[in-house]
Amino acid sequence: MSVRKREWNTPKGEKKSAWIVDYVDTTGKRRQKTFAKKKEADAFAATAAVEVREGVHVADSASVTVEKAGSLWIASGEGAGLERSTINQRKSHLEHHIVPLIGQTLLSKLTVPAVRDFEDRMRREGRSPAMIKKVLTSLGSILSDAGERGLATRNPVRDIRGSRKGRERRAERRQKGRLEVGVDIPTREEIKALLGALEGNWRPLLLTVVFTGMRSSELRGLRWQDVDFARGEISVRQRVDQFRKAGPPKSEAGARTIPVPPLVVNALKELKLKQGNKPGLVFANPDGESRSHSNVVTKGLQPAMVRAGVTVDTGELDKHGNPILKAKYTGLHALRHFYASWLINRKEDGGLGLPAKMVQERLGHASIVMTMDVYGHLFPRADDGTELAQAANILLS
C-alpha cells in the first residue's frame, strides 16, 4: 500500500497534481485510486489496508450500483421460484423507494452512515415507519445476495439491525399494544352469535376458521385429501396466494396437523356430500377454483357478522333514517386470534388450557417467541402471593 504524488502539465501548459494510492486487493489484483488531496489519499489508504487484511475490501471499479445489485436480487428470486406476490413486492421496493434515492450508489460506498441517511430521507419524504422497515429489509437482502456473488463484503443494514434489534422490538411492543378481547379478539358471546348466524356454504368454511385458526391462504388451499374424517384432523399442506396460485406453506412450521371437534367434521361431511364427493379444494368456488381472500371476507365473514349482531355503528343513516351498521371484526385474522385465545384459556373458562409450545404448533408459528410476543399476555397467571405463602408454610412445616 503506497501513497504517491503525481504531477503533470495539461496541453495548455497548466500544472496539475494528484495523489495516487497503489495497492493490491483481496483477489491479488493491483488497484489505483486517485485523490485531489493527500489527506483524502492517506485516509483511504489506512481504511483500505485494514479492509484488505480482513478480506472485506471491494474496489469501486469492481463494485456495482445498488440498482444493478437489486436487479440481480430480483432475478435470483424469480429463478428460485418465489411466489409472484413476493417478487412484486421486491420490484415495488426497488423501483419506488431504493432506486430513486440510492440506486446509483456503488455497493462499495454503501456504509452504515449512508444507510442511516437513506433511512432518514425516506422518513422525511413521508414513508411510514412500517414501509421504511420493509424497504430496509429488502436492501439488506440485496446486500446479502450481492455478497454471495462477490460484489459486496459488508452488509451495513445487518450491522444496524444487530445494534438496534432489542431496542426496536421493545418500541414495537409499546406501539402495537396488547390484543384486547372485545376489541381485537371476539368474545365467547360474539363467537356464539356468529356461529348461530352461519348459513349455506359459508357455515363449514367459517366454522373451520374458528376451530382451526387457519390463515386465509391455508383455508383457501385446503384439499379434501388433507381432511381426515376418521381421526378428526385437518392437515395444512398447501396454501393459495393472492393470485390463486397453489404452493407449499410459507415455512416449515406452517405444515401442521390440527385436531378439530365433531361440529367441524360433520359440517365438512355435509359439504363433501353436497359437492358430490369430488376431489379438489374443500372451499372452492362453484367452478371448482379457489376463492379469493376478499370474496371470503366480504361475502362470507362480514355479512355473517352483521346477521349475528356483532356490529358497530358507522355514524351514518340509511334512506329510512336508520343507523348503518357494519361488521365489528372485518378480517379473518380476528377469528385466528379467537382460536389462539381458546387454546390458551383455562378449561374452567371454556378453553383448552394448552401450554405455549402446543399453541405455537397449532398456529403454525415459526418460533415460540412469535407466539409469546402476540399472545403471551393471554396465558393465565397464578396468584403469586398465595403460592409464595404456601411454599413458605411447606418449607417451615
Q: Tens of pLDDT along 338-393?
A: 999 999 999 988 899 999 999 999 999 999 999 999 999 999 876 556 666 777 77
pTM over 0.75: no
325: which 3 cell numbers? 351498521
d(CA 71, CA 25): 26
The answer to whether 58 and 151 have CB atoms below 8 angstroms apart is yes
104: which 3 cell numbers? 446509483
Fold that domain 188-378 belongs to in CATH: hpI Integrase; Chain A (1.10.443)
Q: What is the pLDDT of residues 152-205, one digit of tens each?
A: 878 899 888 776 665 565 555 555 568 999 999 999 999 999 999 999 999 999
Handedness of CA 96, 100, 103, 105 (dihedral sign): negative
> For the residues 267-296, what does the mean pLDDT come to?
92
The answer to whether 64 and 102 have CB atoms below 8 angstroms apart is no
Is the confidence at residue 314, as pLDDT, over 80? yes
> For the residues 89-112, what does the mean pLDDT come to?
93
Q: Residue 218: which of 362, 89, 341, 81 has the closest Cα? A: 362
> For the residues 8-34, what does the mean pLDDT come to?
82
φ, ψ for residue 372 (rounded to 5)? Answer: -70, -35
Neighbouring CB atoms inside 10 A of 60's CB total: 11
> For the residues 76-86, what does the mean pLDDT come to?
86
The answer to whether 3 and 19 have CB atoms below 8 angstroms apart is yes
The pLDDT score that the predictor gives to residue 53 is 72
The pLDDT score that the predictor gives to residue 261 is 96
151: which 3 cell numbers? 460484489
DSSP state letter for 377: G
Residues of the chain within CATH 1.10.443.10 domain(s) are: 188-378
The helix (run of H) or strand (run of E) holding residue 111 is none
Q: Residue 50: which of 31, 26, 33 has the closest Cα? A: 26
> For the residues 37-53, what does the mean pLDDT come to?
78
Mean pLDDT (the chain, rounded) = 88
The answer to whether 44 and 52 have CB atoms below 8 angstroms apart is no
The answer to whether 341 and 185 have CB atoms below 8 angstroms apart is yes
In the three-class reduction of DSSP (H, G, I as helix; E, B as strand; rest coil), residue 364 is classed as: coil
Q: What angle do CA 67, 73, 79 make, to 5 degrees?
A: 140
Fold that domain 66-176 belongs to in CATH: DNA polymerase; domain 1 (1.10.150)
> For the residues 113-134, what does the mean pLDDT come to?
93
Strand residue runs (E) in the chain = 2-9, 15-24, 30-35, 227-228, 233-236, 239-240, 246-247, 256-259, 311-317, 323-327
Residues of the chain within CATH 1.10.150.130 domain(s) are: 66-176
| End-to-end CA separation in angstroms for the chain | 78
pLDDT band at 149 (very low <50, low <70, confident <90, very high): confident
Which residue in the block uniquely carries the three cell numbers 489505483?
Answer: 32
Q: What is the pLDDT of residues 225-276, one digit of tens each?
A: 999 999 999 999 999 988 888 889 988 999 999 999 999 999 999 999 999 8
